[in-house]
Chains A and B, each alone.
Chain A
Amino acid sequence: MAEVKLLGLWGSPFSRRVEMALKLKGIEYEYFEEDKKNKSPLLLKYNPVHKKVPVLVHKGKPIAESLVILEYIDDTWGDIGPPILPKTPYERAMARFWPKFIDEMCIPTLRRASWSEGDEKEKAKNEAATLLKILDVEVKGKKFFGGETLGLVDIAAGFIACWFGVMEEIVGTQILNKDEFPNLCDWIEVFNNDNFVKQNLPPRDRLVGKYEAHYQAVKQARAA
């Protein structure tokens, strides 16, 4: 019986966060690919509240919510591999603040800016630019958000580096551009080309296919 299990989805940015953290620490785990349309009894048992991935199961005890899982991994395997959170309380507070900002503000806005249309899209695009500027300022002068090495904020911001890039390609927007967000684009370049990160992002062509299908479905629903 594997001591560490992960219920995930290949294309989910939240699921990939947890895989990245486990791999960063060199923790062995058994992976279960879920099916959103046909959730496994294991998923429903281990995350009855949200019924979502990712769920980490350690010695039979489940933990849900990607950021909660990442802190759990850092707390539990603190002595093993590189740290995910910084050491000092103030830096840790900052490392908690930014992923919250990314999840609560950036991701929903970036999704709306991609999939909506008309006035809603324009409004979302403007909001997105404001939010991305904030991140651009935050990462200025740094290799990663975490400093010299990858940390919690970088792992959380993976959505912007990878998933959003594909979304923009599909819908034909150029919200995230080098002119307006030079520092963020530099970070994206470093992040996406990092050897470790590269191995842990979903295959790009598969993601393109997934978002193509999603975009078609969204457009069809609107036309109906």
Chain B
Amino acid sequence: MAEVKLLGTWGSPFSLRVEMALKLKGIEYEYVEEDLSNKSSLLLESNPVHKKIPVLLHNGKPIAESLVILEYIDETWQNGPSILPKNPYDRAMARFWAKFLDDTLAEAFRKTFASAGDEQVKAKEQVQELLKFLDNELKGKKFFGGESIGFVDIAGNALAYWMEIFAELAGIEFIATDKLPHLCAWMEVYLNSSFVKEHLPDREKLVDSFRARFQKTG
């Protein structure tokens, strides 16, 4: 009997990505909520390199890194909807944009939140430039994946939901409808799609947990 286990945390977009992929494919799994201040021995053994969640365990074999896990799920369970496109060029584009979200855009957001004054103004402009690329990419499309949610949309959960919350807490507006109409439209459809909506963590709880974290380190 195939055994699938996910080590994750409730408030993590990376953990949620894996849950979304498993649910999309209709795969049964055991979820283990990790306490990052007291990591389980299973987590430390399964991901000795990074010691982070999410980690997927399939028949006891661990896979770490959310995007790597998503590709593994797509390749292993070929029944059900595809996460990545079929055609090599479209697959390359999906991988490119997911990397863009996690590396380039995330770094630009980090810089914005970590800076102040003129530096922050510059950092905000950089974020706007990057978001414009995403906005262009969505022209004529409902989702990054086309008609249905795909790899980039799943990876985009951090942008659509978490980033928006951080921005509110920091008092910064990133995504204005007039400047980024396609991105705004995507966020609306994405966050309201029944599949996504039912799996997002409660907004108030999430805001409270971040506020608590900011207070601890602030």
B residues in contact with A96, CB < 8 Å: 65, 68, 71
Q: Residues of A with Cβ closer than 8 Å to B?
A: 48-50, 58, 61, 63-65, 67-69, 71-72, 75-76, 89-90, 92-94, 96-97, 100-101, 104, 134
A97-B88 CB under 8 A given contacts A63-B96, A89-B75: no
Extra A-B contacts (11), CB below 8 Å, given A65-B96, A68-B96: A49-B100, A71-B92, A90-B58, A92-B72, A93-B69, A93-B72, A96-B71, A97-B63, A97-B68, A100-B65, A134-B49
A72 and B88 contacting across the interface, CB-CB below 8 Å:
yes
A104 to B95, CA, bound (A): 16
B residues in contact with A50, CB < 8 Å: 104
> Main secondary structure on chain B at its contact with chain A?
helix
A72 and B92 contacting across the interface, CB-CB below 8 Å:
yes
A residues in contact with B75, CB < 8 Å: 89, 92
Contacting residue for A97 out of B64, B99, B100, B133, CB 8 A: B64
A64 to B100, CA, bound (A): 11
A89 and B72 contacting across the interface, CB-CB below 8 Å:
yes
A7 to B84, CA, bound (A): 26
A134 to B47, CA, bound (A): 12
**How close is B124's CB to chain A, nearest CB, in angstroms?**
18
A90 and B72 contacting across the interface, CB-CB below 8 Å:
yes
22 A-B pairs with CB atoms under 8 Å apart are A49-B100, A50-B104, A61-B89, A63-B89, A63-B92, A63-B93, A65-B99, A67-B95, A68-B92, A69-B92, A71-B92, A71-B95, A72-B89, A72-B91, A89-B75, A90-B58, A90-B61, A90-B63, A93-B63, A93-B72, A100-B68, A101-B49
A residues in contact with B88, CB < 8 Å: 72, 75-76
**How close is B76's CB to chain A, nearest CB, in angstroms?**
5
Smallest CB gap from A78: residue in B: B88
A residues in contact with B89, CB < 8 Å: 58, 61, 63, 72
A134 to B51, CA, bound (A): 13
A65 to B95, CA, bound (A): 9
Smallest CB gap from A138: residue in B: B49
A residues in contact with B91, CB < 8 Å: 71-72, 75
Identify which of residues 74-113 in chain B touch chain A, using a CB-to-CB cut-off of 8 Å.
75-76, 88-89, 91-93, 95-96, 99-100, 103-104
**How close is A148's CB to chain B, nearest CB, in angstroms?**
21
Contact-residue size bin, chain B (C-beta under 8 Å from the other chain): 20 to 34
Encode contact with A along B23-63: 1 for CB under 8 Å, 0 otherwise.
00000000000000000000000000100000000100101
A64-B96 CB under 8 A given contacts A75-B91, A92-B72, A93-B72: yes
B residues in contact with A69, CB < 8 Å: 92
A49 and B72 contacting across the interface, CB-CB below 8 Å:
no
A43 to B95, CA, bound (A): 20
B residues in contact with A65, CB < 8 Å: 95-96, 99
Smallest CB gap from B89: residue in A: A61
Of B69, B89, B96, the most chain A CB neighbours within 10 A belong to B96
Shortest Cβ-Cβ A-B pairs, 8 listed: A75-B88, A89-B75, A72-B92, A93-B72, A89-B76, A68-B95, A76-B88, A96-B68
A90 to B4, CA, bound (A): 13
**How close is B69's CB to chain A, nearest CB, in angstroms?**
7
A96 to B75, CA, bound (A): 13
A134 to B64, CA, bound (A): 15
A92 and B71 contacting across the interface, CB-CB below 8 Å:
yes
**How close is A53's CB to chain B, nearest CB, in angstroms?**
15
Smallest CB gap from B77: residue in A: A89
